Amino acid sequence: MNNNEQRTFVFSCIKRFAKESKMVANNSRKENSFKYVLKDLNGTENYVCKTFLLATLGFHPANDRFLKSVRDTEPTAALPRKDMRGRHPNSAKVDRNLLVDHIKTFQPVVSHYRREHAPNRLYLSSDISVTLMYKDFVEKNPMVKASYELYRQAVASMNISFANLGNEECFECEKFNLHLKSSLHKKEDSSIDCKECGVWKGHKENYVAAREEYEKDKKEREPEKLIISADLQNVIMLPRAEMFKEMIFTPRLIAFNESFVPVGAYSKALKAMAVIWHEAISGRKKEDLISTFYAFLLNNRDTPYITIWLDNCAAQNKNWSLLSFFIFIVNCADVDLKIFYVKYFQCGHDKNTHLYYFFPVLHS
């Protein structure tokens, strides 16, 4: 039996009677008398003493605390009062919403680099730690008795990370490396008929060919051809001054930066362009990023040949709105484009200048 079933059985063994005798002063706290019964094999109730009942049920004869807890039930109750041990409200319990609200003041944001693989993951600036956040909470809420472990659990429950971004490995390559460890295959063995090996070999052919394409663009020496790499940089939380503690705990403004960096033989002679805005102006939706490309192309309106390298972030660089904008801009009178190439980095290799494929959009 569980605890409640045990209490119910003991409750059925107790008979409550009105107090048979009264003291002269009538100041006794005893209101009832109790008798104890046990049924035999025929179901007949037999009165027993308390010591006999305790010994029969496996309790120590001198320990009647369990009986007393069952006898405290109201006389009119049909079932015994539940065991309330561990169920009383904790007067020192900390309101979790108070912790969450304090954590939100540091403005955790979604990372640009990991949005595809971890869309619900939030990140904080690298100059912030859980220890500093907890110390700030204690200073601002001296009456709240919250432990460091409780605060750390609140941070973890919000799926917040302090990881150093931008160092992700290629998923296909790592998957293939694990496959090699669990099998007897080798990378250089092309005679093995294996599905996993075939997928990776196709992946390798793509990023090797893409690297050659990128190296070819880097050697381009025609001044009228502009080759750039565009990318949305990691968000910047302003103000940023790590030497001042007051700056760390100040509510911050999130700034965005879409950079257009020249590559190739003329990269040193050309200036990079950064389109910068903050959250009070707009966010980083597809229409916001399209406006940065529009600003860049207007800034280079007299360039007839432009090639842009992009990564494979689908939400920002591979959506129909952006591709439709490219169709619009090459047919727009605001620019003098004759040929406009958009080339994408190989997925998983974009941080190592391995590239995948491209498609031309030709001006009619």
Task: Give the residue with greater pLDDT, 356 vs 209.
Answer: 209
Q: Return d(Cα 308, Cα 294) in angstroms, integer.
A: 13
**Using the 8-state DSSP alphabet, how is residue 82 labeled?**
P
**Using the 8-state DSSP alphabet, how is residue 339 labeled?**
E
Peptide bond into 61 cis (omega under 30): no
Say what the pLDDT of residue 91 is. 54
Is this model's pTM higher than 0.75 or not?
no
Q: In the chain, where are the structural domains located?
A: 3-71, 96-161, 212-362
Q: Return d(Cα 225, Cα 65) in angstroms, integer.
A: 91
Cβ(286)–Cβ(316) below 8 Å: yes
Q: Return d(Cα 59, Cα 51) in angstroms, integer.
A: 9
Q: Return d(Cα 361, Cα 326) in angstroms, integer.
A: 8
Task: Grade residue 291 by pLDDT with cuts at 50, 70 and 90.
Answer: very high
Rg of the chain taking only CA atoms, in angstroms: 37
pLDDT in tens, 116-160: 444 567 777 766 788 888 988 888 888 888 888 889 889 888 888
Distance of CA 307 to the CA centre of its chain: 36
Q: Return d(Cα 154, Cα 167) in angstroms, integer.
A: 26
Q: Return d(Cα 315, Cα 326) in angstroms, integer.
A: 16
Say what the pLDDT of residue 189 is. 63
On the question of pLDDT at 360 being above 60, the answer is no
Q: Return d(Cα 102, Cα 154) in angstroms, integer.
A: 10
3-state secondary structure of 282: coil
Q: Return d(Cα 339, Cα 364) in angstroms, integer.
A: 9
pLDDT in tens, 211-243: 777 778 877 777 778 888 888 877 777 776 666
Q: Return d(Cα 36, Cα 156) in angstroms, integer.
A: 54
Structure tokens of 100?
A: 């969450």
Tracing tokens 């730690």 back to the chain, one arrives at 129
